[in-house]
Structures are given as C-alpha cells and as structure tokens.
Amino acid sequence: MSGMECERLRELDAELALGVLPARERAEAVAHLDRCPNCREHVKRLTVVGDGLLALLPGAEPPVGFESRVVRALGAAPAPKRRRHRLGLAAAAAALACGFGGWAIGTVVEAAPPPVSQRTDGGLRAAALVSDGHVVGRIYAQAGDEGWVYMSVDLDGNGRGPVRCLLVHADGSTVPVGSFPLKDGYGYWGTPAATDPTTLAGARLMAPDGSVLATASLPTG
Amino acid sequence: MWRMGLFLGRVPDEALLTGLTTGDPELAVAFVRRYQRTVFGVALAVLGDPQLAEDVAQQTFERAWRHAQVYDPRRGSVRSWLMAIAHNLAIDAVRARRASPVDPEDLDALLGIVTETPERQALADDSAERVRRAVAELPLEQARALVMAGIYGMTAREVADAEDVPLGTAKTRIRTGTLKVRALLEAAEKR
C-alpha cells in the first residue's frame, strides 16, 4: 500500500467520518478502507464525533397520534388473524444495502427466517415457541438475578386461556412461573424471573387441561 | 398486580428491537414509545419542519423494523443506531426539498444548543457532556463548520458557499474541528 493513498485518505478523514464526502470521493475512500486497517480504525474513531453531536440534539415530543400511526405502519396493530402473516414479513426482512453514517452498514442479507433460538452478548436469549412444527410465538429470557421472561403467542384462535408457562431445566425438571390469558388464541406476558443460563433449557406452554400447547428450546451455556 | 407497561419499560433496548421483528404489537408500542422523542428530535433539529420531521421519524421506525435483524450491538447502542437512521433520512429529505441546506438563524440556535451546558448537566461527566464541552472549546468558525457538516449533513462545498470562504478553508475547518473534538474526548476519557 502506498503512503500517498493513506495521506490522501487522511485529508478526507473527517468528511468521510461525518458522512459528507461527495459520492465519488467517498467510493474511493471506502475502497481504501477496505484494504487499510489502520485508516479504517482511524476513521472509526472519528465517527464518534458525529455520533456525539447527534446525541446532543434535544428530544422533542412528536405530534399526538404519532405512536399509533407508526405502530399501524409497522403492521403491528392488534389484529390476531393477520399476525401469522406479519411474522412472515418480519422474517423476510429483505436484502439491503444502505449506509447509516458511522454505522456504514453495507451488508447484503438474504431473506431468512428468524433463528429458532439465539443468544446475544447481553445475556438475552430468544427462541421460537413451536406447536406441531409451526412457529406460534417467541420467548425471551434475560439471565441473572434481575432476569425476566417475556413471550408472545398466537395459536390462530385455537387456544383458550389461561395458559400456564413452565420453565424447563436441562435435567428435565420444570418450574411454573405464571399464567396469562389468551384472546382468540393470542396473548403476551412477561414476568421477573431469576434464571440461570447454564441450567435453563426451554419453556412449555400448557393448556388448562394439562396438554402442551407449545414448546421452546433456549440456547444453553 | 404486576403491570405489563412497567415490565416493558425495563426490557433492554436490544430485546425490544429483537421483539419488534416478531410483529408483536405490544413490543412495537413499547419500542416506539421509548425512542420517539429521540428520533423526532433528531429529525426536527435537521429539518426545522414538524410535519416533515414526523414523516422522517415514521420512516426511521419503519427502516429499523425492516433492518432490525442486521443491527449489530458491537457498533453501538440501539439509540445511536436509530439516531443515525433518522439523521440520514432527514438529510435526504433536506436535499430533496431545498437548495440551501440550512437557515443561518437555525444554525445559530443549534450551535447554542450543542455548546451550552444546561444547568442540570453542569456537573455531569458523561460522554454527551464531554462532546458538548469539546465543541464549546473550538473556535467559532470550526464549531460552525462541524455542526453544518455533522448535523446538517452539508458538504465542504456547501459549507464554503454558506460561509463565503474558499473550499480549502471549509475543508480545513471541518477537519480541524473534528480532530480537535476527538483529541479532547480521548484526553477526557484518559483522565
């Protein structure tokens, strides 16, 4: 890599980090960053300035009704019959290639369903609630003494409440954590629950007659 | 009786974003409620037009919903991710709407907001206050250039035209201001 390339990049570093470099220069600069980890790290450090400026902007209360309009636009209005379809739409969060300033997301992501189970760095685990091979909801479990469990389930009108939630441990033992009502097969519920990520393996939703409505397998460890 | 609203208020940002992809209406409401002031605030600061800012804020949530599965917490918080989306959409809207990206009066007002420490924050030493103090230490022309580029998304050419200075001068102001703020922040972090 020639010194001139890095030298030229450093002349444009701030404009690149702030996202105001004209398209042609930006393309050349990004191509350089692809090859040069030092310049990449340098520009990454400068993006903190732009992010910091945005963080100083005061919040402002949006107009009345904004929240409802946005939720409607997201297709998340409470209409149980359509929710299964929306799950599909969310899963198909389609191919994207967009730039978010310092975020610089440039990844093309193929349409894919949400993973059956996943774990994040923050100790949050998520898993699909499955009934007869179909995804009918999702459960989230935050580990630790301040932990909690949240789930939403849509049994397509087949379920009647209240349903009971059991946490399932790796040794097969179960612990009831509470119950919640379903309306036309749909319901959501959360509760504080101290959970140990090394032993909590999943969850079961039980009907009032004791039959299993849905199960989830959480990632362990 | 344990209340769902209180519970959702405690759910971590990342979990709410993950939940948004499920189409769960309660999680969607909680997500929008948590961030709407931030998102609308960014859009309004850049656009200065409440109607347009509302449109941009709504688009921000729609984009976050569509792209939630590629959010990477290693790159920053959910809040800063949303602010970046809102900022980019607002700048696009500005560019589509008018030739001159910023009204001088709006710039002066915004410069005041990002450099003057509110009384309640005077003793705070969080990252936002460190940025505020660093920008306040810049010479005025550098602070103006930095705000024009960093918040209004103006190119160096546009800054040069707005300030009636040569292009090279505008570039130098943007760059020097950015590097100084970064250096001041790093010095503050080491203390």
Structural domain contains residue A98: yes
Q: Are residues B168 and B134 in the same domain?
A: yes
Kindly report the CATH number assigned to the domain that includes residue B89: 1.10.1740.10
Q: Do B153 and B124 share a structural domain? A: yes
Mark whether B91 and B117 lie in a shared domain: no
Count CA atoms closer than 13 A to A29's CA, side-chain side: 25
Tell whether A60 is covered by a domain: no
Give the mean pLDDT of B156-179: 96
Is there a single domain that holds both residue A89 and residue A32? no
Same-domain pairing of B3 and B74: yes
Q: Which of B50, B69, B98 is the last residue of a domain?
A: B98
Q: What is the CATH number of the domain that holds A166?
A: 2.60.40
At B20 the pLDDT is 76
Highest mean pLDDT, choosing among A161-165, B24-28, B60-64? B60-64
Cβ of B84 within 8 Å of Cβ of A78? The answer is no
Task: Looking at mean pLDDT, say which of A174-183, B3-12, B67-76 comes out highest.
Answer: A174-183
With respect to residue A111, please indicate whether it lies within any of the assigned structural domains: no
pLDDT band with cut points at 50, 70 and 90 for residue A13: very high
Handedness of CA A127, A132, A134, A136 (dihedral sign): negative
Q: Tell me the per-residue pLDDT of A71-93, one tens digit each, with 9 for 90 and over.
A: 888 876 544 433 443 333 333 32
Residue A114 has pLDDT above 70, yes or no: no
pLDDT at A137 over 70: yes
For an interface test with B, the pick among A53, A105, A142 (most B C-beta atoms closer than 10 Å) comes out as A53
Residues 118-137 of A with CB under 8 A from B: 120-122, 124, 126, 137
In chain A, what residues touch B2 (CB-CB under 8 Å)?
A: 191-192
Question: What is the average per-residue pLDDT within A117-132?
Answer: 73
Higher pLDDT, A193 or B134: B134
Residue among B85, B113, B147 whose CB faces A58 most closely: B113
The stretch B131-147 carries a mean pLDDT of: 95
Q: What is the span of the domain harbouring residue B179? A: 101-191
**Which pLDDT belongs to residue B151?**
94
ipTM of predicted assembly, 2 dp: 0.88
pTM over 0.90: no
Q: Is residue A71 part of a domain?
A: yes
Cβ-defined contact of B36 to A67 (cutoff 8 Å): yes
Q: Which of B98, B126, B161 is the last residue of a domain?
A: B98
Residue A108 inside a domain? The answer is no
Question: Does one domain contain both B60 and B117?
Answer: no
For residues A202 and A143, membership in a common domain is answered with: yes
Mean pLDDT of A52-77: 88
Q: Do B78 and B129 fall into the same domain?
A: no
Domain that holds residue A175: 117-217
* Average pLDDT over every residue of A14-22: 94
Predicted local distance difference test score (pLDDT) of residue A90: 32
A85 and A153 part of one domain: no
Q: Are A148 and B2 in contact (CB under 8 A)?
A: no
**Same domain membership, residue B117 and residue B48:** no
Q: Which of residues 61-90 of A touch B (CB under 8 A)?
A: 61-63, 66-67, 69-71, 73-78, 83, 86-87, 89-90
Residue of higher predicted confidence among B41 and A135: B41
State how many domains chain A has: 3
Q: How far is A169 from chain B (nearest CA, A)?
A: 22
Summarised one tens digit per residue, pLDDT across range A92-103 is 322 222 333 444
Residue A159 resides in a domain: yes
Identify which has the larger pLDDT, A149 or B2.
Answer: A149
Name the domain count of chain B: 2
When CB atoms are compared, the residue of A53, A75, A93 closest to B69 is A93
**Strand-pair partners of A168:** A174, A202
Residues B108-132: pLDDT tens digits? 888 988 888 766 665 666 788 889 9
Does one domain contain both B72 and B133?
no
B68 shares a domain with B9: yes
Give me the pLDDT at residue B82, please: 94
- DSSP class of A127: E
Output the domain CATH number for residue B123. 1.10.10.10
Does residue A111 have a pLDDT over 70? no
Q: A149-190, pLDDT tens digit by residue? A: 888 888 877 666 689 999 999 888 998 888 888 888 888 787
| Residue A137 counted as domain residue | yes
Mean pLDDT of the region B88-104 = 79
Q: Which residues contact A197 (CB under 8 A, 6 or more apart)?
A: A123, A125, A143, A220, A221
Q: Are residues B17 and B57 in the same domain?
A: yes
Question: Same domain for A95 and A159?
Answer: no
Contacts of A152 in chain B (CB under 8 A): 19, 22, 24, 26-27
CA A92 to chain centroid, in Å, comes to 14
Least confident stretch, A3-7, B49-53, B79-83, B159-163: A3-7
> Which residues are paired to A153 by β-bridges?
A137, A187
Same domain, B92 and B127: no
Q: Please write down the HEC assignment for all residues of chain B.
A: CCCHHHHHHHCCHHHHHHHHCCCCHHHHHHHHHHHHHHHHHHHHHHHCCHHHHHHHHHHHHHHHHHHHHHCCHHHCCHHHHHHHHHHHHHHHHHHHHCCCCCCHHHHHHHHHHHHCCCHHHCCCCCHHHHHHHHHHCCCHHHHHHHHHHHCCCCCHHHHHHHHCCCHHHHHHHHHHHHHHHHHHHHHHHHC
Looking at the fold, whether A50 and A71 belong to one and the same domain comes out as: no
